[in-house]
C-alpha cells in the first residue's frame, strides 16, 4: 500500500474512532470523582458515587443522570447538578420535569434568562402544568417584564382557578397600576380561606387603604402574624423528597423561618449551611438578606462583598448591595452596583429606574433622564415615564416630555403629578386646549392641590400673551 493510502486509512480510522467515542461517551460529561465530593454527608457521598459509577458504565442512562443531578442539587453541588440536568436533556429533550427542575436550579443561581428558556420548554411540553406558569410569571416580574408576567398569571388561573398565588400575582400588578378595585375583587373572596397567605392579605390591606377603607385595612392586618406564608404548590418538585434531604430541607426550613419572622433561627441554619457550602450562591444571598432584615448589617455587608468577589456575575447580590448603600445614602457605591446589574442584565427595567433616582438626586439630570427613559421603554413602569417626562421638561425637550407624560397618565390615571406635569409640558408647547384638558383631569383628583390653580393661571396668561412660554 502506498504512503498516501496508509495516511488515508489512518485518517478514516481516526475519524471513526472519534465518532465512536462521541456515541459511547456523549458530549464528554464526566460525573464527580471521589475528590469532588469530599466533605459531604456519607449518605449523599455514597449515593453520588453509586450513580456516577452507573453513568460511567452506561453514559446514556437518563434515569441515573437525572438522579445524579437531583442528588448534587440536594448536596449543594449546583454546577454538577446543572451539568447533569443538561446531559439528561441532551439525551431526552422532551422530559418536561427535567426542564422544570433545571429551571428552578438556574433561577436560584441567578441565571434568569436561561431559567426563563427552561420554563418556556416546560410550558411547551406540559401545557397544562399550572405551577410552571406561576413560577415563570414570578421570574418575569422579577426581571421587570410585568406585562408578560401578567399574561402567564392569567394562563395559570385558566389551568387552576383555585390557585390563590396566581390570583395574588395578578393583584400585585394591578396594585402597581393603583387599580384598587381589581385588587379587592380578586383577593377579598380569599380572606379567611386556606388560600390566603400573609403577602396576599398585605396586598389587600394596601388596596383598602388606597380606596379610603382604613378600617377594613386595619381588620385585615389584625391577625397578620398568624397567617402563614405560602409558596407555589409544585407537585413535581414536592414529589422528590428522596433528593431533598440534608441541604435542600435545611434551606427550605430557613426560608420558612425567615418568612415567619424567626430570623435568629433562620440565621443559625444558614450559618451552618454556609460553613459546609461556602461557595453556594443561594446560601450566601439568603444569609445576607436575613441578616439585613434582622439588623445585622455588618455581617450582611461582609457576606455580600464576599459573594460578589467570588461570583461577580451574580446580579442579585449587586442589587442587594445597591439597596444597602442607598439606605446609607452612599450613592456612589450604589450606582456602581446598579451599573454592574445593567451590564449583566440590560433589560432589567428596575435597575435603570433605581439608577435614575440616584442620578437625579445628584442633579445629573441628563444621565438621570437617559436611565428613566430606558426604564420606561423596557417595562410597564408609570413612575419611570413620569420622571423621564419631568426631566425632559427640565432639559427643555417638550416633545419627549409630552411623549413620556402621556404614557405615564395612560398607565396610571390616578397619579395627579402626571396630569399636572403633562399640563405644564403642553402649555410650554403652546397646546393650551390640551393643557386645560390635562389640568381638568388633575382637578378631578384633587381640586385643592396648589399647582392646579397656579397652572390654570399660567395657561390663561400664555394664551393671552404674544410671548412663547
Are residues 422 and 386 located together in one domain of the fold? no
- Given this model, what pLDDT does residue 381 score? 66
Residue 174, domain member (yes or no)? no
Are residues 261 and 337 located together in one domain of the fold? no
Q: What's 248's DSSP letter? A: H
Domain edge (last residue) among 363, 392, 421: 392
- What percentage of the chain has pLDDT greater than the value 90? 47
Rounded to the nearest angstrom, the gap between the alpha carbon of residue 456 and the centroid of all alpha carbons in its chain is: 43
Q: Which domain holds residue 338?
A: 321-392
Cβ 75 vs Cβ 247: under 8 Å = yes
- Given this model, what pLDDT does residue 134 score? 95
Q: pLDDT band at residue 241, thresholds of 50, 70 and 90?
A: low
Residue 136, domain member (yes or no)? no
Are residues 336 and 299 located together in one domain of the fold? no
Average pLDDT of the residues in 266-274 = 92
In the chain, what's the furthest Cα-to-Cα distance?
Answer: 104
- Which residues have CB under 8 Å from 130's CB, separation 6+? 156, 159, 160, 163, 166
**Whether pLDDT at 140 is above 50:** yes
- Given this model, what pLDDT does residue 361 score? 93
Residue 137, domain member (yes or no)? no
**Which of 35-49, 243-257, 318-332 has the highest mean predicted lDDT (pLDDT)?**
318-332
Higher pLDDT, 232 or 429: 429
| Residue keyed to cell 460529561 | 29
Helix then strand count (H, E) for the chain reads: 26, 0
Higher pLDDT, 224 or 165: 165
Average pLDDT of the residues in 68-83 = 86
- Given this model, what pLDDT does residue 11 score? 38
Average model confidence (pLDDT) across the chain: 85
- Distance separating the N- and C-terminal Cα atoms of the chain: 95
Are residues 293 and 327 located together in one domain of the fold? no
Which of these ranges, 59-73, 183-197, 400-414, has the smallest mean pLDDT? 183-197
Q: pLDDT band at residue 3, thresholds of 50, 70 and 90?
A: very low
**Whether pLDDT at 301 is above 60:** yes
**Which of 31-40, 53-62, 114-123, 309-318 has the highest mean predicted lDDT (pLDDT)?**
114-123
Are residues 287 and 256 located together in one domain of the fold? yes
**Whether pLDDT at 17 is above 70:** no
Structural domain tally of the chain? 4
Are residues 84 and 18 located together in one domain of the fold? yes
Are residues 358 and 437 located together in one domain of the fold? no
Measured over the CA atoms of residue 110, residue 114, residue 116 and residue 118, the dihedral's sign is negative
- Given this model, what pLDDT does residue 77 score? 82
Average pLDDT of the residues in 202-208 = 90
Taking only the tens place, the pLDDT of each residue in 339-381 is: 999 998 888 888 999 999 999 999 999 999 999 999 988 866 6
- Give the integer Cα–Cα distance in Å for 101 and 344: 24
Average pLDDT of the residues in 233-260 = 74
Query: What is the reported pTM?
Result: 0.64
- Given this model, what pLDDT does residue 83 score? 94
Cβ 386 vs Cβ 181: under 8 Å = no
- Which residues have CB under 8 Å from 382's CB, separation 6+? 176, 177, 407, 408, 411, 412, 415, 418
Are residues 40 and 72 located together in one domain of the fold? yes
Are residues 332 and 377 located together in one domain of the fold? yes
Residue 15, domain member (yes or no)? yes
Higher pLDDT, 210 or 119: 119
| Cβ atoms < 10 Å from Cβ of 451 | 17
DSSP three-state, residue 423:
helix
Residue 135, domain member (yes or no)? no
Cβ 392 vs Cβ 408: under 8 Å = no
CATH code, 268? 1.25.40.10
Q: pLDDT band at residue 276, thresholds of 50, 70 and 90?
A: confident
- Given this model, what pLDDT does residue 75 score? 76
| Residue keyed to cell 383555585 | 162
Are residues 19 and 85 located together in one domain of the fold? yes
Q: pLDDT band at residue 224, thresholds of 50, 70 and 90?
A: confident
- Give the integer Cα–Cα distance in Å for 84 and 56: 13
HEC per residue, 111-168: CHHHHHHHHHHHHHHCCCCHHHHHHHHHHHHHCCCHHHHHHHHHHHHHHCCCCHHHHH
Rounded to the nearest angstrom, the gap between the alpha carbon of residue 1 and the centroid of all alpha carbons in its chain is: 67
- Given this model, what pLDDT does residue 220 score? 86
Measured over the CA atoms of residue 428, residue 429, residue 430 and residue 435, the dihedral's sign is negative
Are residues 29 and 83 located together in one domain of the fold? yes
Residue 188, domain member (yes or no)? no
Residue 440, domain member (yes or no)? yes
- Give the integer Cα–Cα distance in Å for 52 and 432: 76
- Given this model, what pLDDT does residue 76 score? 76
Taking only the tens place, the pLDDT of each residue in 157-180 is: 999 877 788 999 999 999 888 888
Residue 2, domain member (yes or no)? yes
Amino acid at each position: 500500500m502506498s504512503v498516501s493510502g496508509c495516511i488515508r486509512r489512518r485518517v478514516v480510522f481516526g475519524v471513526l474512532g472519534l465518532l465512536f467515542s462521541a456515541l459511547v461517551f456523549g458530549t464528554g460529561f464526566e460525573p464527580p470523582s471521589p475528590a469532588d465530593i469530599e466533605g459531604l454527608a456519607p449518605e449523599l457521598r455514597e449515593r453520588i458515587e453509586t450513580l456516577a459509577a452507573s453513568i460511567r458504565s452506561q453514559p446514556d442512562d437518563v434515569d441515573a443522570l437525572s438522579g445524579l443531578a437531583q442528588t448534587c442539587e440536594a448536596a449543594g453541588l449546583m454546577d454538577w447538578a446543572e451539568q447533569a440536568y443538561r446531559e439528561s436533556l441532551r439525551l431526552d429533550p422532551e422530559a418536561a420535569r427535567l426542564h422544570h427542575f433545571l429551571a428552578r436550579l438556574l433561577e436560584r443561581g441567578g441565571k434568569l434568562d436561561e431559567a426563563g428558556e427552561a420554563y418556556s420548554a416546560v410550558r411547551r411540553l406540559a401545557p397544562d402544568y399550572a405551577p410552571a406558569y406561576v413560577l415563570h410569571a414570578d421570574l418575569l416580574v422579577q426581571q421587570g417584564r410585568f406585562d408578560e408576567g401578567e399574561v402567564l398569571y392569567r394562563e395559570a388561573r385558566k389551568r387552576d382557578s383555585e390557585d390563590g398565588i396566581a390570583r395574588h400575582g395578578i393583584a400585585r400588578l394591578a396594585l402597581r397600576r393603583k387599580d384598587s378595585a381589581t385588587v379587592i375583587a380578586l383577593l377579598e373572596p380569599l380572606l379567611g380561606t386556606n388560600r390566603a397567605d400573609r403577602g396576599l392579605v398585605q396586598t389587600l390591606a394596601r388596596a383598602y387603604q388606597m380606596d379610603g377603607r382604613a378600617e377594613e385595612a386595619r381588620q385585615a392586618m389584625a391577625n397578620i402574624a398568624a397567617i402563614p406564608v405560602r409558596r407555589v404548590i409544585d407537585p413535581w418538585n414536592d414529589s422528590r423528597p428522596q433528593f431533598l434531604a440534608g441541604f435542600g430541607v435545611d434551606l427550605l426550613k430557613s426560608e420558612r423561618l425567615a418568612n415567619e419572622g424567626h430570623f435568629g433561627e433562620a440565621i443559625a441554619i444558614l450559618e451552618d449551611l454556609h460553613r459546609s457550602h461556602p461557595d453556594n450562591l443561594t446560601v450566601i444571598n439568603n444569609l445576607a438578606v436575613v441578616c439585613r432584615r434582622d439588623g445585622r448589617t455588618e455581617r450582611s455587608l461582609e457576606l455580600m462583598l464576599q459573594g460578589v468577589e467570588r461570583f461577580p456575575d451574580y446580579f442579585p447580590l449587586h442589587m442587594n448591595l445597591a439597596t444597602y448603600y442607598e439606605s446609607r445614602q452612599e450613592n456612589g457605591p450604589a450606582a456602581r452596583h446598579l451599573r454592574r446589574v445593567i451590564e449583566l442584565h440590560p433589560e432589567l427595567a428596575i435597575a435603570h429606574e433605581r439608577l435614575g433616582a440616584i442620578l437625579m438626586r445628584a442633579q445629573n439630570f441628563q444621565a438621570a433622564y437617559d436611565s428613566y427613559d430606558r426604564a420606561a421603554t423596557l417595562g410597564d413602569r408609570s413612575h419611570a415615564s413620569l420622571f423621564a417626562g419631568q426631566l425632559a421638561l427640565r432639559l427643555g425637550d417638550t416633545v419627549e416630555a409630552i411623549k413620556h407624560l402621556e404614557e405615564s397618565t395612560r398607565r396610571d390615571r390616578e397619579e395627579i403629578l402626571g396630569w399636572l406635569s403633562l399640563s405644564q409640558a403642553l402649555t410650554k408647547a403652546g397646546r393650551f386646549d390640551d393643557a386645560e384638558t390635562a389640568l381638568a383631569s388633575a382637578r378631578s383628583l384633587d381640586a385643592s392641590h396648589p399647582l392646579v390653580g397656579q397652572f390654570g393661571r399660567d395657561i390663561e396668561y400664555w394664551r393671552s400673551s404674544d410671548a412663547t412660554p
